[in-house]
Amino acid sequence: MARIVLEDGFGIRPGAQAGRIFSEDEQSKLQQIRARLLAGEPIQYVLGKALFFGYFFKVDPSVLIPRQETEELVDWVLSCLKKAGNSAPTLLDIGLGSGCIGISLKARFPGLQLYGLEKSPAALSVALENAGQILGDKPFHFLEGDILHESSRDLFPALDVVVSNPPYIPRQEENWMPDHVLRHEPALALFVDHEDSLLFYRVIAAFALEKLRPGGALFFECNEFNASQVVDLLADMGFSSVELRADISGADRMVMAVAVGR
């Protein structure tokens, strides 16, 4: 944590500036950072940025902090894009948050036609800022909307890939969550306020069946405790080649499914 503060907060690499004396302003800034960390605030929110897939993303309490497990999902999607042989595929990232998934994919696969959908105006503002900072003049299309509302589902063209890290934590699991997550990260992006804990998976999958071209792929990040249910759901809905993958810690976290032609 000290290394991250020095590198990301002050631009100091450990050992590179031995004996460097902090200015009064820097000492004041360091004390403010220290106080916020001791109060339990996540370091990414304290510094206002998070490293994800080799890029720094602006983060604030309106968006989830990008996580290592999601980097693995991005890597899987990127690998499939490269294998598909389509130089200009169309991809929709549903529930942008900071935009880390879609923006990282566009940055590594410039021909990607990137679309994004985000319900929260504050989160969308963060995603737009990140896209401008990381993608520069590369085109993208981020829109405000709620995938649960039919009007939002008519905003997009035919797609080759749909990817989403939707809210997937049932409210009854709230007591299992770390305190710093509950106190600081947006509940809108974490919890399913519905008896159907697979609500977003069900709605997004139905949308994907309508919008994906034959052979198009749907990717989800999911809760390790209901990942098998997501697999069964997609198979029952008519997707083929449904694949479940574990993350680096061994938790079932990622699902991919292929839409067949109708």
Is 49 contained in some domain? no
CATH of the domain at 186: 3.40.50.150
Question: DSSP letter string over 186-237?
Answer: -HHHHEE-SS-TTHHHHHHHHHHHHHEEEEEEEEEE--TTTHHHHHHHHHHT
At 103, the pLDDT band (50, 70, 90 cuts) reads very high
Look at residue 138 and tell me if it is in a domain. Answer: yes
- The pLDDT tens digits for 225-236 are 889 999 999 999
Q: Is the pTM of this model over 0.85?
A: yes
89 and 16 in a common domain: no
**Which range of residues forms the domain containing residue 102?**
64-258
More confident residue, 188 or 66: 66
Q: Are strands 90-94 and 169-170 parallel, antiparallel or unpaired?
A: unpaired
- Do residues 130 and 192 share a domain? yes
Looking at every residue in the chain, the average pLDDT score rounds to 90
Tell me: pLDDT of 182 over 60.
Answer: no
**27 & 109 share domain:** no
Q: For the segment 119-129, what is each residue's pLDDT rounded down to a tens digit?
A: 999 999 999 99
Beta-carbon contacts of residue 204 (< 8 Å; ≥ 6 apart)? 94, 147, 162, 164, 166, 218, 220
| Mean pLDDT across 132-154 | 94
Asked if pLDDT for residue 138 goes beyond 60, the answer is: yes
112 — pLDDT class (breaks 50, 70, 90): very high
- Mean pLDDT, residues 128-143 taken together: 97
CA dist., res. 60 & res. 169, Å (int): 21
Same domain as 76, residue 24: no
User: Has residue 51 been placed in a domain?
Assistant: no
Is pLDDT at 171 greater than 60 in this prediction? no
Distance in angstroms (rounded) separating the CA atoms of residues 255 and 76 = 10
Residues 9 and 81 in one domain: no
Q: Which position has the higher pLDDT, 175 or 49?
A: 49
Quick one: 138 and 177 in the same domain?
Answer: yes
What pLDDT, in 10s, does the model give residues 204-255?
999 999 999 999 999 999 988 889 999 999 999 999 999 999 999 999 999 9
Q: What is the pLDDT of residue 167?
A: 81
Question: If you ran DSSP here, which 8-state letter would residue 98 be given?
Answer: T
Q: How far apart are CA 186 and CA 194, in angstroms?
A: 17
